Amino acid sequence: MGNSVRHLSSAVFAFVIAASAVAGRAEVSPEAAAPSSKPAGRVESFTPPGPDRAVPTSRGELIYSFAPIVKKAQPAVVNVFASRVERMPANPLFDDPIFQRFFGGNGGMPGRNMSQSLGSGVIVDPSGLVVTNNHVIEGMTDVKVALADKREISAKILLRDPRTDLAVLKLSDGANFPTMELGDSDALEVGDLTLAIGNPFGVGQTVTQGIISALARTHVGISDYGFFIQTDAAINPGNSGGPLVDMSGRVVGINSAIFSKSGGSVGIGFAIP
């Protein structure tokens, strides 16, 4: 894919390293962030959820279930809720003495408007480092994260970069959070199976399945860096910041945008490698 693509594929990993330094950690734990040396498409061994289900290991077994992969990856996926309270300027008309005589003198008080944003994220370090999209938390002052176990925890914005559209949050309470391993997006090939996990339209954590449709897509228009993974796994508003997962249960991209005239998924989604 060339040196440019290889450089960009490390954007998420570099962000996690930087965020760990900000949080007072010298490095991210190898279990949570070190790219695996195993080839993409090979399934790591772990116990399936039931005797009649197995991780697909060949084309013939793809008629089985992705449930073991989802069970491994899903606990590390979170919902991100961000908000900001804006003070609205008072209408000068309310300062008119005649207006105050008929409508009272409190009409000139400035109003308040609540701006909200909804997205997804993925925990990549047990200390509570969460990678998401910058546009999910951009301009927001209050960020909360809902975990898969239904806990809601406030989060601090550690790093944000509009150029890559990436941000790193730090959960304010708790430890030993479930994590998802960072995979090697350079090893992806067109046609590889992927899963997208997130919170589309705020309906709750949802898993969709597709393939890698293209690599090194440019002119997407969502950041200065023009190399993206394209997938046909359904991505909708609310999925932003959630992981694109390979068949080993590793995050290989951060879902960021879709091409759509209706606002819903039409099978053209883009993830940051």
Query: What is the chain written as a DSSP string?
Result: --HHHHHHTTHHHHHHHHHHHHTT-SS--HHHHSPPSSPTTPPPP---SSTT-----SGGGGGS-SHHHHHHHGGGEEEEEEEEEEEEPPPGGGG-HHHHHHH-S-TTS-EEEEEEEEEEEEEEETTTEEEEEHHHHTT-SEEEEE-TTS-EEEEEEEEEETTTTEEEEEESS--S-----B--GGG--TT-EEEEEE-GGGS--EEEEEEEEEEEE---SSSS---EEEE-S---TT-TTPEEE-TTS-EEEEEEEE--SSSS--S-EEEE-
SS3 (DSSP) at 144:
strand
SS3 (DSSP) at 21:
helix
- Catalytic site residue from 9, 20, 127, 135: 135
- Catalytic site residue from 20, 185, 213, 240: 240
Cα–Cα distance, 168 to 63 (Å, whole number): 37
Whether 219 is catalytic is: no
Q: Which two tokens stand for residue 63?
A: 């008629």
Q: Are 142 and 153 in contact (CB under 8 A)?
A: no
Residue 156, beta-bridge partner list? 170
Cα–Cα distance, 203 to 112 (Å, whole number): 27
Whether 224 is catalytic is: no
- Catalytic site residue from 125, 165, 184, 246: 165
Catalytic residues: 135, 165, 240
